[in-house]
Amino acid sequence: MNPLACPKCKGTLKAIIYQNIEIDRCDDCLGIWFDSLEAEELKNCQGSESIDKGDLNEKSLSDPLTKPIFCPRCQVTMLKMLDLDQYPIWYEICSQCQGIWFDAGEFKKFKSNFLPKGFFTQAKQAFSFKKNRS
Ligand SMILES: [Zn+2]
Ligand SMILES: [Zn+2]
């Protein structure tokens, strides 16, 4: 497999194996690429946040909409996803291959935002909690 180019800084993504799951991390900006469902699987692995070596750059929160990034596999524009749970994070998802890009530090936040139940379960719970006024 050819090494992927970092969608943010055009550095080279290096494969890292964690618990038999292969992810790709950029040596330069420390962003992490997950193929479809890898983020979901790794989120449920204890200690998996250790793959995320970077710290969240506050600046990236302030200009989340300025730069579109392109899927390193499919070259299509990735969709911005806002996760507003405990910590607001923006991450990108590819509508074609379902790959996910996290900037440095975002996976740690992503992991702590969700209980190990799946992407949408907790979001739904939060929603029904708000609707339930009692
Ligand atoms: Zn990079
Ligand atoms: Zn893709």
Establish if 5 belongs to a structural domain.
Answer: no
Establish if 131 belongs to a structural domain.
Answer: no
pTM of the model: 0.78
State pLDDT tens for residues 20-65. Answer: 999 999 999 999 999 999 998 999 888 999 999 988 766 555 555 5
Establish if 128 belongs to a structural domain.
Answer: no
Establish if 2 belongs to a structural domain.
Answer: no
Establish if 26 belongs to a structural domain.
Answer: yes
Which helix (H) or strand (E) segment holds residue 22: the answer is: strand 21-26
* Among the bound ligands, the one closest to the CA of 92: 2
DSSP assignment letter at 48: G
Distance between Cα 70 and ligand 2 center (Å): 8
Domain membership of residue 61 as a residue range: 13-116
The total number of structural domains in the chain stands at 1
Distance between Cα 110 and ligand 2 center (Å): 20
Distance between Cα 125 and ligand 1 center (Å): 34
Chain length of the chain: 134
Distance between Cα 127 and ligand 1 center (Å): 34
Establish if 77 belongs to a structural domain.
Answer: yes
State pLDDT tens for residues 1-18. Answer: 578 999 999 899 999 999
Query: Which residues are CB-contacts of 40 (< 8 A; sequence separation ≥ 6)?
Result: 118, 119
State pLDDT tens for residues 66-107. Answer: 678 999 999 999 999 888 777 788 899 999 999 999 999 999
